[in-house]
Amino acid sequence: MRLSIALLLCVLVIMPYAEARFRPFRWDVKEESDLYHKRIFTINGETPGPTIQGQQGDAVEVKVTNSLVKENLAIQWHGIRQRGPWCLCSISPGQTFTYSFILDRPGTHLYYSHYSMQKVAGLYGWIRVSPPYGVAEPFAYDYEQSVILNDWYNKSSNDQAFYWDVDPESLQIQGKGKFDSSKSATPSSDTMACNATIPAYLNWTIVPGKTNRLRVSSVAIRYALSFQIEGHNLTVVEADGYFVEPFVVQNLFIYPGETYSVLIKADQDPSRNYWITSNIVGWNAAAIAPPGLNVLNYHPNHSNHVPPTDPPTGPIWNDVAPQLAQSIAIKARRGYVRTPPPKADRMIVLLITRNKIDGYFHWSVNYVSLTLPRTPYPIALNENLHHVFDQSPPPDHLPGYADSNDYRVVDKTNATSSDLIYRLKFNTTVDIILQNANTMTANNSETIPWHLHGHDFWVLGYGSGRFNVANDPKKYNLANPIMKSTVAVHPYGWTALRFVANKPGM
């Protein structure tokens, strides 16, 4: 069955937008440098870039001028549906391109560069969408704030090729952080200077007794992070733009590409300030980078008052149980459940391993690492260029999958490269099983975030050990599963996703 690329004309049925507005933006993307001579990419001179804020149904137009000297540019609107199946070329230096889309769903979303390593160099920002006038969200708050978490690398991507085990010099909260400048290749004379030409701390002021909504997102290039506010509970109410049944955590675990909204009650001793921290989980953070630090400032205390306590150390870095518990706790909020199809037409099981190709480590799926063909897939498919890539269908299940042992280093240390693709029938329901396993290091399995490009999906379940094709689907949550755009696969475990293949294209 051949996947055809055709124009799908459909009516976006949401609700009438009598108050919808046109919201134009004009962005100029430039290359600058920080105190340590790293190339950073800014939008209108800012990193993070400007926030796109509007209401459900608003029409957004973003004119992006690429003022970079040598690099192309492309923007990914993470969580915002792009109506149409087309693929776009990147913006060449000196050129301007206009992105147009509808803010079709309220919630917290991201945008970031989808070209080269520009995202890790500062090219990202927020998209915040409110419900239409007269429509209330299912939770109340007095004030709100947004923070983006990221890992920061002092060397520019063209000075240091990125490889999986590269370590960041700093963790940042809303573009601010600290690090040991003596480790920099070109250290600043100011040993207290931070790595983005901005002060080390972001002081967030709150009013005692008030409830605050905090939108939190991660654009980290690699690491899973925990986020904590000293002495305060975090009530999770939104994940990836979908409302969830509220639940309380002390540490919010967040993976690259995820967004959350949490409610914080300012109910602690108002005579002092409190630490806001981010820590790496899944790796021994003490050997990698200092924690991200900011200050929660209780009004009317002075914002420069450092908390009298040591910053919280965060959760134990290799304790998977609380991370898995948070994933399982995320359920669609009552009244906002989007029920998935009751059964799938097809199941694809993907075993995630880390193998070697030509002596170098590569992440692999079913022992195959993707190699892109020289002619892009959409062109090859549309023009029936069968010689461009391997036309063989990849298997839905890895041969011998049920008998392999995920808790030891695999015997098959080498992977192969391939440009095979999965072809899906239009409008069919597909289950994707993401299966984690041991890496090439004994007794080691890493938390891995996954994003299904172009689709949101239902998260039907998580489990430990090897996924049982016959029995584990009986345990799926079909009553109130959350929809997400990014999901974690925990060490030595599996995650089950379901989506409808209703967007022709790649």
| pLDDT, tens only, 168-197 | 778 888 877 766 555 554 554 444 444 433
Domain-embedded: residue 162: yes
- 204 with 311, same domain: the answer is yes
Residue 36's pLDDT is 63
Domain-embedded: residue 17: no
- 89 with 122, same domain: the answer is yes
- 152 with 254, same domain: the answer is yes
Q: Which two tokens stand for residue 255?
A: 């993976």
E-state strands within 6-78:
22-33, 39-43, 52-55, 59-66, 75-78
% of the chain residues with pLDDT over 70: 85
The DSSP annotation for 360-397 comes to EEEEEETTEEE---SS-HHHHHHTT-TTSS--SPPPSS
State whether residue 121 is helix, strand or coil: helix
Q: What CA–CA distance (Å, rounded) separates 115 from 258?
A: 19
User: Percentages helix, strand, coil for the chain, rounded to the nearest 5?
Assistant: 5, 40, 55
Q: Which of 107, 130, 153 is the last residue of a domain?
A: 130
- 467 with 383, same domain: the answer is yes
- 313 with 421, same domain: the answer is no
CB 178 within 8 A of CB 194: yes
Q: Are strands 59-66 and 96-102 parallel, antiparallel or unpaired?
A: antiparallel
Q: Which of 130, 161, 182 is the last residue of a domain?
A: 130
- 419 with 296, same domain: the answer is no
Cα pseudo-dihedral 248, 251, 257, 260, rounded to 10? 30
- 459 with 376, same domain: the answer is yes
Q: Which two tokens stand for residue 322?
A: 């609380």
Calculate the average pLDDT of the chain: 85
Residue 5's pLDDT is 33
Q: Which two tokens stand for residue 96?
A: 């301007």
Residues in the chain: 506
Confidence of residue 144 (pLDDT cuts 50, 70, 90): very high
Residue 87's pLDDT is 58
State whether residue 329 is helix, strand or coil: helix
Domain-embedded: residue 407: yes
Least confident range of 126-135, 243-252, 271-280, 371-380 = 371-380
Q: Which two tokens stand for residue 347?
A: 């199941």
76: domain CATH number? 2.60.40.420
* Closest among 206, 227, 75, 80 to 149, alpha carbons compared: 227
- 318 with 350, same domain: the answer is no
Per-residue pLDDT tens over the stretch 231-287: 999 999 999 999 999 999 999 999 999 999 999 999 999 999 999 999 998 776 656
* Closest among 171, 168, 165, 169 to 147, alpha carbons compared: 171
* Closest among 173, 169, 121 to 150, alpha carbons compared: 173
Domain-embedded: residue 400: yes
Number of structural domains (the chain) is 3
- 219 with 320, same domain: the answer is yes
Q: CA distances (Å), 363 to each of 71, 353, 395, in order?
A: 26, 6, 18
Which helix (H) or strand (E) segment holds residue 120: the answer is: none
* Closest among 375, 401, 398 to 387, alpha carbons compared: 375
- 103 with 164, same domain: the answer is no
Residue 125's pLDDT is 94
Residue 115's pLDDT is 84
Least confident range of 260-274, 360-374, 451-465 = 360-374
Q: What CA–CA distance (Å, rounded) separates 199 from 202?
A: 8
171 versus 202: the higher-pLDDT residue is 171
Q: Which two tokens stand for residue 74?
A: 């492309």
Confidence of residue 288 (pLDDT cuts 50, 70, 90): low
Residue 37's pLDDT is 66
Domain-embedded: residue 80: yes
Q: CA distances (Å), 102 to each of 127, 155, 283, in order?
A: 12, 37, 39
pTM: 0.88
Q: What CA–CA distance (Å, rounded) separates 195 from 37?
A: 10
Q: Which of 275, 299, 329 is the last residue of a domain?
A: 329
Confidence of residue 32 (pLDDT cuts 50, 70, 90): confident
Domain-embedded: residue 365: yes
- 365 with 315, same domain: the answer is no
Domain-embedded: residue 251: yes
% of the chain residues with pLDDT over 90: 53
Residue 299's pLDDT is 95
The answer to whether residue 414 scores a pLDDT higher than 60 is yes
The DSSP annotation for 426-473 comes to TT-EEEEEEE----SSTT----EEEE-TT--EEEEEEEESS--TTTGG
Residue 15's pLDDT is 42
Q: Can you give the residue range of the structural domain that contains 62?
A: 22-130
Domain-embedded: residue 339: no
Residue 53's pLDDT is 95
